[in-house]
Chain A
Amino acid sequence: MSMLTVKDLCIKVHDRKTTDTLVYDVDLSMDKGDILGIVGESGSGKTMTALAIAGLLSRHDMEKSGQIIFEGINLLEVERKVLRKIQGNEITMVFQEPLNSFNPLKKVGWQVEEGLRVHTVMDKCEMKERAIEALRDVELSNPEAVYNSYPHELSGGMRQRAMIAAAMIIQPKLIIADEPTTALDVTIQAEIVELLKRINKERGTAILFISHDLSLVNTLCENVLVMQNGLVVESGRCENIFNNPKEDYTKKLISAIPKNPFYKG
């Protein structure tokens, strides 16, 4: 059985009198160590799907139906306490905007440790060691300095690396990366993608990579899901979809890729 299975996931928003459906019947499955890409234009429901998997959609005017089964537990039905244990221990997330992903008042090191602090009892020295190790692991050149700096003192790329370190410190089974490279420039994007690839290889962490950048998805992912207007248009192996797209929408998306050095196809 696969690690994560999403079946018929529907997300509806009740806004006053009308009901808007944001995501229709999404199905996906991921195994341990998989890298799955979700691509699609803005508003296609990529992020909604990701947030639902992470269990972060708690708005009271939202209706979720279907199943999100993570290691045999349906995340949509489970009690909050159990969900909290799964979150953080098993699933973490890297967000799009690295500036907002850190609390501006606390040092980066402290925030990298936060996952450990919430889930385990650990003394300060050990926690610091783990945090610095995690920061070193994401190829930050001076982890001790980063540990002691505030978020605004770091560049966007460094912040995103630190974010990945914070996500990795509890050694989750699944990282959801919601457009982690959108706010970064092209060279840093490539580095971050390489980093995610390496983490995936070394640790066997599954990555759900959400992006509207098809070329990045092509370099990173094995499987891909193309979404449009809340619907999954096409899914399958990356090579298949990129080399021989079936749907019009996918063809258009692919033809819209500018020729850049990362584009293999």
Chain B
Amino acid sequence: MKDKNKRVKFIIGCVLTGLVFIMMLSGIFYTPFDPMEMDPSTKLMGPTLSHIFGCDNFGRDIFSRVMVGVRETMLVAGSVVIIGTLVGTIVGTITGYYGGWLDEIIMRLNDAVLAFPSVLLALLIIGLLGGGRNPLILALGIAFVPSFARIVRGEVLRIRNLDFIQCVKLYGASDLRIIFVHILPNLKTVLLSSVLIGFNNAVLAEAGMSYLGMGVQPPNPSLGRMLSEAQAYIFSNPLNAIFPGIVIVMMILGFSLMAGGLEK
């Protein structure tokens, strides 16, 4: 019964993310309209057969912009998660495996970063480096490291004390061998679901930062950017904000359901 629930969850999650992915991938080769082209005659138009999501305040086709914007959002979120996971795994493994004062120092630093609101931290870094996509990726990446480091450290601590690690140690395996061959592969179940959840948070963070005007710069579309542009017309043309919002929800729900389905 429980297993079946999880499978259903996982499948629904796959379908939702699959849809978003199809939209994103086809956006690379084909969009129904040019996502940058402005057309005064279709300004703030509601959904029609040719413009299925309607048009925004510059008369640009929202569906086309969403297709391209998803790509931008995914790119940022993906890179952020990759940075967070890589650095977090390195930090977590070193601190968890070796322990001692190094662990204390790094984890206290980690706590300090963790205690700082991530959006504020990202704002600070963007303030120093300037806006745009790459500083945004860097900023969010740094903000995402601590939570991954924590998760990895906890797991490494647990696995390190299992008998089989002691066994391998006794065979005379080096620390590097123990870490890479015996500990890291055992992290993958934990990492997989936290990567999926982290990806969600990254999507939201990207949307939030772009909404604040710190991320992807106009006229390039991203989902957060589109929300922020639609905000001015939220009462007259709510659909402008609703469609990109739905895509964000689909993405996040999809990944959450997948993560939920994968959990033990």
Contact = CB atoms under 8 A, between A and B. Distances in A.
A102 B170 contact: no
B170 A101 contact: no
Interface stretch (A9-17, A71-79, A91-99, A128-136): A91-99
Given A87-B172, A88-B172, A89-B172, A101 B186 contact: no
A84 B178 CA distance: 13
Given A100-B163, A103-B164, A91 B173 contact: no
B100 A60 contact: yes
Given A60-B99, A60-B100, A105-B185, A100 B164 contact: yes
A118 interface: yes
Given A100-B162, A103-B186, A119 B172 contact: yes
Given A104-B186, A105-B185, A118 B164 contact: no
Given A104-B186, A105-B186, A118-B177, A170 B163 contact: no
B171 interface: yes
A115 interface: yes
Contacts of B186: 103-105
Contact of A93 (B167, B174, B182, B185): B167
A111 B162 CA distance: 15
Interface in A153-172: 163, 166, 170
B171 A91 contact: no
A92 B163 contact: no
B108 interface: no
Nearest to B98: A60
B231 interface: no
A60 B186 CA distance: 25
A85 B172 contact: yes
A36 interface: no
A84 B167 contact: no
A54 B164 contact: no
Contacts of B162: 100
B155 to A, nearest CB: 13
A56 interface: yes
Contacts of B172: 84-85, 87-89, 115, 118-119
Interface residues of A, number: 30
A92 B182 contact: no
Contact of A95 (B166, B173, B174): B166
B164 A102 contact: yes
A96 B169 CA distance: 16
A87 B170 contact: yes
Contacts of A114: 168, 171, 173
Contact of B174 (A84, A92, A170): A84
A124 B170 CA distance: 22
A85 B168 CA distance: 13
Contact of A56 (B169, B173, B182): B169
Nearest to A119: B172
B163 A118 contact: no
Nearest to B165: A103
Given A60-B99, A105-B185, A105-B186, A119 B166 contact: no
Contacts of B164: 100-103, 111
Interface of B: 99-100, 162-164, 166-174, 177, 182, 185-186
Shortest beta-carbon contacts, A-B, top 6: A88-B172, A88-B171, A100-B163, A95-B163, A84-B172, A115-B171
